[in-house]
Structure 1
Amino acid sequence: MEWIIEKSHDGMLVREYLRTVKRFSRSTLVSVKKDGDILLNEESVTVRACVHQGDCLRIVFAKEERGSHLRPVAKPLTILYEDDELLVVHKPAGLATIPSIHHLEDTLANRVIAYYDKKGIPFTYHVVTRLDVDTSGIVLIAKHRFAHSIMANDQLRGEVNRTYIAFVEGTLKEHQGTIQAPIGRKEGSIIQREVREDGKRAITHYEVLEQYLNFCAVRVKLETGRTHQIRVHFSSIGSPLIGDDLYGGNKTLIQRQALHCSHIQFPHPITRQVMQVKSELPQDIRKMMQHAKGLC
């Protein structure tokens, strides 16, 4: 990456320019110093060099290494948006976001790596937002470690915002509401979570979109991002997600939790332009809705 130094940054140290103006994290800067290069007007310099108006500062990042489980799997990948810095994709239900002991071969990560190889993109997999295996919808991926460091910090500051569509059992008392209840790991389980007094702060905002005979569609926005937060919160108020048998949902209408990440808004890591991407409801959820309307 390279930049032409503007008048307002004349006299800054390279370190100061990269950290404050270009938002390099400390770890990214250390990586560049150790395994990359810093070129000022095509001459290699240290971070203690001064930049002046009109100078060309170029950063050469270290070559990225891929983990042993990131073998390419050439299967379908639905791309919603792409540029040199990031990738936004639609993850189908049933596909893990990253490899794990339970999902080693075909994950979203493996499919992205296969796509990178096909397009000659020399990076590894830097996921910014994740989804449970059986949740469908938008996943945000940084193409390189610099973009990832910026977007990870944006996420910590609450600037990466996702909207979900969930289908929950029964009828909610309030058309709009907030569920505020701490969430922690359920005793005796490494997977399941529950509302508990000693849990971490968790806040879920919702709005009912449509009422069906035995369930309703709700738009959900998270103020916090706890594991299984939407699933746990709606189960805690007696309206588990349809298909979510882990938290008390009925699987008659659909064989997975009826939860879809439908919209994401975030600042672009380089231009800082506010980006918005949408993802349509998948076929299994639309089929469930059509069946429910036929019963009304």
Structure 2
Amino acid sequence: MELTYQVDRDHAGCCVRQAARGPMHLSEKLWRKIKWNGTITVNGSPVSSPSHRLEAGDRLVFQWEETAAVIPVHLPLAILYEDEDLLAVDKPAGMLIHPTWSGARDTLAQAVGGYFRQSGQKCGIHPLYRLDRDTTGLLLVAKSAFAKHALTRSHQEIYREYLAVCEGDLAEPRGRIHLPIGRVAEGVDRWMVREDGRPAVTDYEILADRGDHTVLKIHLLTGRTHQIRVHFAHKGHPLVGDPVYGTRDPRIARQALHAWTVRFCHPRTGEEVFLTAPVPEDMRGLAGSRVCTAFLPQNML
């Protein structure tokens, strides 16, 4: 991977390390990796000392090698967006993001690894947030520690919206659920609202009322495990088809939850990027075609 910085007047006189941790926004871990195992040049000439002073107009370049500790597997992969720093994929239902045992061969991280190997890319694999096994939709993957650090410094770096369908009618057209979430019991992969849990905040807006179910647009202000599913189940409106926090439903073989859109400032260019994942067929029947296309850009209709 390569990262370039043209030294401006405000940072003239700073050293290489200060530039790395300041205007280039590198994490301490990545900076150490570049310092010991990468290449640093200033105006094309190698620099070995992190104390080397920079002048306005200098071209500082860092180069390093990214690796991924997964077994690459060639699996179908729906790519929504790609550049030198990021990959956005449309995750299907039934796929884990990371291997949970040494013999796993069907996770999204391994599929990304297979794609990188096939396309000749030497990249890291850094999923920037979690999606449950049966939650579909847009997953953003950083190709380097640089992009990962830039987009995970806080939860608010990436603005995410979900499409969900819950049981019953909600009283208010929009609202905020601010209730702490913790494990049901130690070692159990099931969660609940509890006073000693971690803070969790969920915003929602009703897109359509279907009588026995409600179609929602949801934004998470925190990123707790199963947050949307737990919050709406606690309110008496579990997601349709949720086998853990609600009941199974013949209309859909999983919880009706889809990672719909993301919006963020690109870590390299600073430009705003908006991405969306098409609503899968099993949720289109519940949400309705009008809802599924109402918030998409015109070129996606």
The structural deviation recorded for 1:9 is 2.3
Structure 1 residue 272 displacement after superposition? 1.4
Contact persistence 1:204–1:224 (CA under 8 A): yes
The SS at the match of 1:148 is helix
What is the percent sequence identity of the aligned residues? 37
Q: Is residue 166–residue 216 contact of structure 2 (8 Å, CA) maintained in 1? A: yes
Tell me how far apart the structure 1 counterparts of residues 102 and 61 of structure 2 sit (CA, whole Å): 42
* Corresponding position of 1:237: 235
2:232 counterpart letter in structure 1: F
Amino acid corresponding to residue 31 of structure 1 in structure 2: K
Q: Is the 8 A contact 2:181 2:194 kept in 1?
A: yes
Whether the 8 Å CA contact 1:74–1:115 is kept in 2: the answer is yes
Post-superposition Cα deviations, 1:97-141, rounded to whole Å, max 9, x if no partner, equal 111139811111111111111111101311112200000011011
Structure 1 regions of 5+ residues with no counterpart? 292-296
Aligned-partner Cα distance in 2 for 1:45–1:290: 60
Match of 2:4 among 2, 5, 25: 2
Unaligned runs of 5+ in 2: 290-301
TM-score, normalised on structure 1?
A: 0.92
Counterpart contact for 1:86–1:143, Cα < 8 Å: yes
- After superposition, give the CA deviation of every residue in 1:45-95 in whole Å (9 maximum; x if it has no partner): 31100011232211121x33332xx22221211111111111111101111
- Residue of 259, 270, 273 corresponding to 1:272: 270
- TM-score, reference length from structure 2: 0.90
Note if 1:50 corresponds to 2:46. Answer: no
For 1:66-215, list aligned pairs within 5 A: 66-67=68-69, 70-101=70-101, 104-153=104-153, 156=154, 158-187=156-185, 190-215=188-213
Once residues 197 and 176 of structure 2 are traced to their aligned partners in structure 1, the CA distance between those partners, rounded to angstroms, is 18
The CA deviation at 1:33 is: 1.1
Root-mean-square deviation (CA, aligned residues, Å) is 1.7
Give 1:294's aligned residue. Answer: none
User: How many equivalent residue pairs?
Assistant: 286
1:17–1:117 Cα change, 3 Å: same
Corresponding residue to 1:258 among 244, 256, 259: 256
2:285, 2:68 → 1: CA distance?
Answer: 39
The amino acid that maps onto 2:10 is: S
Which whole-Å deviations, capped at 9, do the CAs of 1:142-190 have from their partners, x for residues lacking one? 111211121121xx15121100011000111111111111100002652
Which position in structure 1 is the counterpart of 2:22? 20
Cα pair distance change 1:170/1:146, threshold 3 Å: same
Equivalent position amino acid for 1:150 in 2: A
| 8 A Cα contact 2:181 2:227, kept in partner | yes
